[in-house]
Chains A and B, each alone.
Chain A
Amino acid sequence: MTVAPSRAIGAPIDRIEGAEKVAGKALYSYEHDVEGAVYAAIVTSTIAKGEIRAIDAAEALGVPGVLAVLTHENAGTVEGEGELAVLQSPRVAYRGQIVGAVIAETLEAAREAERLVRIDYDVEEHDVVLRADHPGLYKPDKVNPSFPTDTEEGDIDHALTEAGVMVDETYRTPAEHNNAMEPHATIAIWENGGLTLYDSNQGAFRARQTIADALGLPHESVRVISHHVGGGFGSKGLPRPHAVLAALAARLVGRPVKVAVTRQQMFTLTGYRTPTIQHLRLGAQADGTLTAIAHDVFEQTSTVAEFAEQTAVVTRMMYAAPNRRTSHRVVALNVPTPSWMRAPGECPGMFALESAMDELAIACDLDPIDLRIRNEPEIDPESGNRFSTRNLVACLREGAERFGWSERAAPGSRRHGHWLVGLGVASSTYPARRAPSTAYARAEEDGTYTIRIAAADIGTGARTVLTQIAADALEVPLDSVHVEIGDSDFGQAMLAGGSMGTSSWGAAVVKACRELRTGKDEAHADTSVDVDADEPLAKHAYGAQFVEVRVNADTCEIRVPRVLGVFACGRIINPKTARSQFLGGMTMGISMALFEETVIDPAIGGFVTQDLASYHVPVNADIEEIEATWIDEVDLHVNPMGAKGIGEIGIVGTAAAVANAVYNATGVRVRDLPIRPDRLIGKLSG
């Protein structure tokens, strides 16, 4: 592959849709003006397990403006499976599951009537708490999306017995919710035998296929439009049940229907990160050379569908050792099905691994950066493949220099007034994959160019970077390129997930543009053959986060005054939007470390943190000095742009860097997230 001549790529271009967004003119899915549209309010279950005995909708139907009450009794057949089998039976699988909807002329009437739908249940005993000794734990056939469940190499038990130094600890992460600012929403319109959905999602084409399949419709008769999406972080990656519900409701009343999931309902209807219990064992020689790495994970899924997160998969490639083992066990509880949340697998897995590496460095009396450099593998320890590029060490060294790592003191020894001060570091990594996509390019008569691709811009800057990529591929100025995205009619394209968007879409856009330059007026490109021909190399992005924390010696309040992330992610297409992605990822990592925790009440069998007052995410005052930088890297093995995805790597490792800094400040190791003040109170010496 050759590098496209770079003019627009590498420039800090403002977001293409920036002016529209600040003017309040960018339309998100629920905001499209659809004539005759009515409103649906979702009714959810108030028990965690059992069966609906009877539904009394009379009072709800008596509210002026109410058109219908949709339940399993009148929904009609849905072919969708798992969470998309909406209203197909009287069974209840978790608290907060969809059991009905009220459709009304106004939102006010729908909301009022929703509270008046009376449902009687036969209640059964529920089981909602994950434990490492749960008798229902089993070995799934694979982990998300299709990795082997377990791996084993060498003799881990023997190696651990022989190891001069050992870390043997259990780390826990709680359930966490994506909580994009825009609640999931859909407008469903049936017309001319087809279905149009304005839907908030991370991939209009994939959404169309899935929803059409769920409704038993030919793919071509469904169109999904999602021009602007108010964040997703994985929760809008696959269609959620409300989208199917919107279609069913619109069919029932013969009018277009608008459905927005409420913030409270987002906690049960839109996916979440599974809680994890992770047993980490590291064995090493006295000089820190790893001889054994074992990572055994326990996590939950639901009785509706299996989602087995790939929490220990990252441990397979991160550091080398002759004896290695990873395993995943899940238990199906009466809970909503977990799903993707920013860096599923890598994010919780690296919290445990990078905390354990910090503990090992202390046990070996080594600087944690030196320990990581000592264990840097030459080739991918799992596959034996060469790395396309692996610049972890460069990130660690560059970060140490910029951050002032040499100021780090012994644990618990730095104090400014009432505040204990500490520094921490962790490594970060994320796979650099791509998937087949199609794109269309056309030369217009006025000398401009139109590009169409079913990409999604959920805040990543996709529309902007694809414009830059197209401009360079065509060798024309930026303002002569018009990129249209977010429409399933544009054909097959990868969704915005797995940090694969730009890599997958960009390659298709480059291919379409190159074909256009052979003298054609229009060109269709499909990268399937190119992706199939990709070399079998270990392709990953790397990074290192450096964190300063201050812990109040009296109250144990934790502040994060300073964060630096250094990344090696191939060519950075837009430094302005890339920096924002890195900062946003690290901000979510700080949040994971200190705030985020979805609490389940075993008595009622449901989540009790169901809004932004009880589920804490950072506000402006929580985030102080935070910066991201990157090292020069171009990796033409990953795609023609030489760029690796950057949406997820920022969050991976950050929580461990915070926990490691808290240890350095206080001498107290917290292995259960989030690091709440009560987990430190009474443990600080002096």
Chain B
Amino acid sequence: MAEHASIALTINGELHELTVDTRTSLLDLLREQLRLTGAKKGCDHGQCGACTVLIDGRRANACLALAVAHDAAEIVTVEALADNGSLHPLQAAFVERDAFQCGYCTPGQLCSAIGMLDEAAAGWPSYVSGDLTAPTLDADEIRERMSGNICRCGAYPNIVAAIEDVA
């Protein structure tokens, strides 16, 4: 049965006071109610990464996040990456490197890459890190750290190249 709750979310820098159905995922809130359709629904089960957004600066699957559980959170979606219409360097690199074909996984790849670059800059190691205290972000590291985002068109080498361009 539908229960509703009042929450406040800062989405792409703008405060939204919202009454949400407690069953609503953050992804459906963004896409169906706020018309922010940049984040994509590929599987709705946290298995493909197409819905990746930044929640309080960390990459997360919006399909696995219940909106009601994120009161007061700060959300950044792909729509906020460009600055006054000028593409973020990572967005420009994705276009230049042809790091997508159909484009459906792309917003998730971009948000994931931004979150990943912050994790790497903060010194977080990954499964393939040789030195756990000071990992270097080479192609192997990028491939490993970007493996939560599926691209069925197979643009992986170009995605790695685009991320290397800005890393």
B-binding residues in A (CB < 8 A): 14-15, 17-19, 21-28, 30-31, 33, 63-65, 106-109, 111-112, 179-183, 228-231, 233, 260, 262-263, 458-461, 576-577, 579-581, 583-588, 611-613, 617-626
Contacts and interface: CB of A to CB of B under 8 A. Distances in A.
B154 interface: yes
Nearest to B79: A24
A460 B101 contact: yes
Residue picked from A63, A181, A621, most chain B C-beta under 10 Å: A181
A460 B104 CA distance: 13
A64 B154 contact: no
A587 to B, nearest CB: 3
B91 A23 contact: yes
B101 A108 contact: no
A24 B39 contact: yes
Contacts, number: 187
A583 B157 contact: yes
Nearest to A17: B103
Contacts of A228: 102-103
B156 A24 contact: no
Tell me if B's interface is mostly helix, strand, loop or mixed.
loop
Contact of B95 (A14, A27, A107): A14
B153 A584 contact: yes
A67 to B, nearest CB: 14
A618 B103 contact: no
Nearest to A577: B98
Contacts of A18: 94-95, 98, 100
Contacts of A586: 154
Nearest to B93: A22
B122 to A, nearest CB: 21
Contacts of B24: 108
B42 to A, nearest CB: 5
A15 B152 contact: no
B38 A621 contact: no
Contacts of A63: 1
A620 B147 contact: yes
The 4 closest A-B pairs by CB, nearest first: A24-B38, A230-B104, A459-B102, A587-B154
Contact of A620 (B95, B101, B107, B156): B156
B37 A24 contact: yes
B82 to A, nearest CB: 5
B111 to A, nearest CB: 9
A65 B37 contact: no
Interface string B91-125: 11011101011111111001000000000000000
23 contacts: A21-B100, A22-B78, A23-B81, A24-B78, A30-B41, A64-B1, A181-B48, A181-B150, A182-B104, A229-B102, A230-B102, A459-B101, A459-B153, A577-B98, A581-B101, A588-B152, A613-B47, A619-B147, A621-B143, A621-B144, A623-B157, A624-B143, A626-B157
Given A31-B37, A612-B47, A621-B147, A585 B154 contact: yes
